[in-house]
Structure 1
Amino acid sequence: MEGARVSAVILDLDGTLLDTERATRGILKEFLAKHGKVLDAEKEEKRLGQMHKESAAAIVKDYELPMTAAEFSEAIMPMYEERWPQAKALPGVNRLIRHLHKHGIPLALASNSIRNNIETKISHQKAGWKDSFSVILGGDDVKHGKPFPDIFLEAAKRLGVDASSCLVIEDSLVGVRAAKAAGAKVVAVPSLRNQDEYYSIANSVLHSLLDFQPESWGLPAFEDWVQNALPIEPLCIRDLIADVVSCGDLSLLNITTDDCSYESIPDQVSGVFFGWANVELHGTFKAVVSIGWDLSLGIAKRMMQPSFLGHINNFKRERMHLLLVGYIRKLEHEDNISDALKVSEEDESIGCAALDLPTFCHHASSSPFA
């Protein structure tokens, strides 16, 4: 998209800025189980990004629940509200909002959530989100929610620009369709990893906002890289079970985990990162970690390949925690996940040098396993 210029940015909320899907994961399944029903994951994936009123009516119908859509909403919404404070900003989000606000780029928030729920969700964020947005719109502020274009046309109008000069950042196909219908340019950061091909209507598809390049859209470039490394808000990955095989000065790990809790990494994390690995009986080591998704079997499976920077004795089945504090690059050759996850010598050099810099090394003393 080199040469494309925009004058304003419109952001979706759930799944784009906030990891609300992960924070509230399991609620619908739990609710349905109380009524003797089994959640259909395929149906729920297709509802991603819909208006709550629309999805509530469909859920009641699809699962033949003994209640009205209004009664369903009244019963389940308190369960969601209890979890919203746990929803964290997705990687690269706070960085992007601060950057655009600092440079005076008109910024809007446009979500299919109702306005009161939006206000509640963003109130839990300490990064001053509310003051950064010139316009905040919910699905109840327009006649038709996404996938209709109304909310993006209204956001552009309130920003004082034409929709064609806006860049929309979305995670759901419903939102991407709405933005394209409004005539806006669209960057998709899909929250469902096994459906990337459906997002081809977007102008650009990213795995993470860490890969977003403002200059591609005529916006001011980021200036926060430090010697080919990007500082990130620390990501802690706990309770991995690791095997290690030493190869000279590099130690290669194979890891397994059945963990799917909210404390694990968000789904929108992909690329080569660096930080520290703490191994139960061996201590703490510098590490470069590649993270991606294996889609070869038609389902999305999280894949991770950490490499220790330094020698460590071979071990089997030990508990390991990772603290990732920096980002190096996106994955290449993703059609072959084994090749994509390979950590290069340049990655190792960048990670090792960065972890000695004040920008990154201070995290070691404040890490959860220091």
Structure 2
Amino acid sequence: MASTTFCLFSSPTALLSNTKTSIACFKPHERALSSSILATRTSIYSNKTSRARPMNLRNGSRGFTCSASSSALPSALLFDCDGVLVDTEKDGHRVSFNDTFSERELGVTWDVDLYGELLKIGGGKERMTAYFNKTGWPAKAPKSEEERKEFIASLHKRKTELFMALIEKKLLPLRPGVAKLIDQALEKGIKVAVCSTSNEKAVSAIVSCLLGPERAEKIKIFAGDVVPRKKPDPAIYVLAASTLGVDPSSCVVVEDSAIGLAAAKAAGMKCIITKSGYTADEDFLNADAVFDFIGDPPEERFDLSFCGSLLEKQYAS
């Protein structure tokens, strides 16, 4: 029988002072719980023993690797793209949108804070449409609904070209631990896919340019308009599971946003959050685990074994 691994706060002092501190992962027989921790946990987590999750590690803190001695592994590891593979939004997509607006002389600029609000809308074309519907369409925009759809599509096409140029120049790096976790999965024969609301060409450019062609040929991409309804709708994750021939309950998703989390959970999948620049303060109550990033040693936060352990183990915060 596999031993159960519990994820606990790194010290009684940290737990008492702030319930959102770094976590350490260790087996029950390796360290006894002090009475003070037990008393605190009893008062805080009474009636919540069925399933809790590791809390997030604060940015910049030295964390502890979460790993479990479990033989279970996911059937598929599914990654969101923007904010998960690469923190692209502020200095990638936003800049490309603004450059497109400038080229077309639309008189529109999305600042950092405004773009953060617009990210609550999944999909670039949907984002522009919602913005113009609320603030008013530019003078150069057509009047009819059908022509406006074509107008938005043309803007998004140009924005994607500009964004891909940034990626091809490798001006935006992979987030820590992404390549490591993908390599661990591929070495074990686990299916890996990227599921994103972004344009398929943009996602493919990120995967190919930043992860390399050898990895890219083994990674399935589901992106853009491959489904009619975008996140938080679960359609893209349901499609991924169906196409890959795996049970949704055996999949582990890595997301960075509340809408991505909602999509993954609605699809019946486990979901780990790795917070990004724009999503640090979002509500991740339903996540199975929350971290600041995946991480490479010596700053590794979790690994493939931890992903597998979510399928069969319970964790106590």
TM-score by length of 2: 0.61
Matches within 5 A, 1:231-310: none
Q: 2:84 matched to 1:16? A: yes
Question: What is the distance in 1 between the residues matched to 2:134 and 2:101?
Answer: 11
Note the residue ranges of structure 1 that are not aligned, 5 or more in a row: 220-370
Q: Cα–Cα, structure 1 residues 19 and 41, in superposed 2: closer, same or farther, change >3 Å?
A: closer
Q: Percent identity, please.
A: 30
Taking the aligned partners of 2:221 and 2:159, their CA distance within structure 1 comes to 25
What is the letter of the counterpart of residue 304 of structure 2?
P
The letter of the residue matching 1:104 is G
Mapped partners of 1:29, 1:136: distance in 2: 26
The corresponding residue for 2:159 is: 76
Matches within 5 A, 1:138-287: 138-192=223-277, 195-210=280-295, 211-218=301-308
Does the C-alpha gap of structure 1 residues 150 and 98 become closer, same or farther in structure 2, counting only changes over 3 Å?
Answer: same
For residue 204 of structure 2, the aligned residue among 100, 116, 119 is 119
CA contact (8 A) 1:23 1:83 kept: no
The answer for the alignment partner of 1:368 in structure 2 is none
Instruction: Give the gaps of 5 or more residues in structure 2.
Output: 1-52, 54-67, 142-147, 296-300, 310-317
Q: Deviations over 1:15-50 (max 9, x none)?
A: 111232254153444555654445354442133271
Which of the two has greater helix per residue?
2
Q: 1:39 aligns with which of 73, 90, 110?
A: 110
Q: Which has the higher contact order (CA 8 A, sep 6+)?
A: 2
1:280 corresponding residue in structure 2: none
The count of corresponding residues between Structure 1 and Structure 2 is 219
Deviation by residue 1:124-165 (Cα, 9 ceiling, x = unmatched) = 1253331232x3211322232211101101111122211111
C-alpha displacement of 1:5: 6.0
> In the alignment, which residue of structure 1 is the partner of 2:95?
26
Whole-Å separation in 1 of the counterparts to 2:134 and 2:112 = 12
Aligned position for 2:131: 59
**Hey, what does 1:131 align to over in structure 2?**
217
CA distance, structure 2, for counterparts of residue 84 and residue 9 of structure 1: 23
CA contact (8 A) 1:15 1:21 kept: yes
Tell me by how many angstroms 1:122 deviates: 2.1
CA distance in structure 2 between the aligned counterparts of 1:114 and 1:32, rounded to whole angstroms:
18
- Between 21-30 and 158-167, the greater mean CA deviation after superposition: 21-30
Determine helix, strand or coil for the equivalent of 1:183.
coil
Output the amino acid matched with 2:284: Y
Q: Any runs of at least 4 consecutive aligned residues in structure 1 with deviations exceeding 4 A, and if so which?
A: 1-5, 29-34
TM-score (norm 1): 0.53
What CA distance in whole angstroms lies between the structure 1 residues aligned with 2:279 and 2:216?
Answer: 32
How far apart in 2 are the matches of 1:21 and 1:87? 10
C-alpha RMSD over aligned residues: 2.8
More strand by share: 1
Q: State the secondary structure of the residue aligned to 1:218.
A: helix
In 2: Cα distance, 1:176 partner to 1:153 partner: 14
Helix, strand or coil for the counterpart of 1:14? coil
CA 186–100 in structure 1, closer or farther in 2 if over 3 Å, else same: same
After superposition, the Cα gap between the structure-2 partners of 1:101 and 1:74, relative to the gap in structure 1 and judged at 3 Å, is closer
Provide the rounded CA distance (Å) in 1 between the counterparts of 2:294 and 2:258.
17
Q: CA deviation at 1:216?
A: 2.6
The letter of the residue matching 1:46 is E
Q: 1:50 aligns with which of 112, 122, 129?
A: 122
Question: Following the alignment from structure 1 to structure 2, what is the Cα–Cα distance between the partners of residues 193 and 126?
Answer: 23
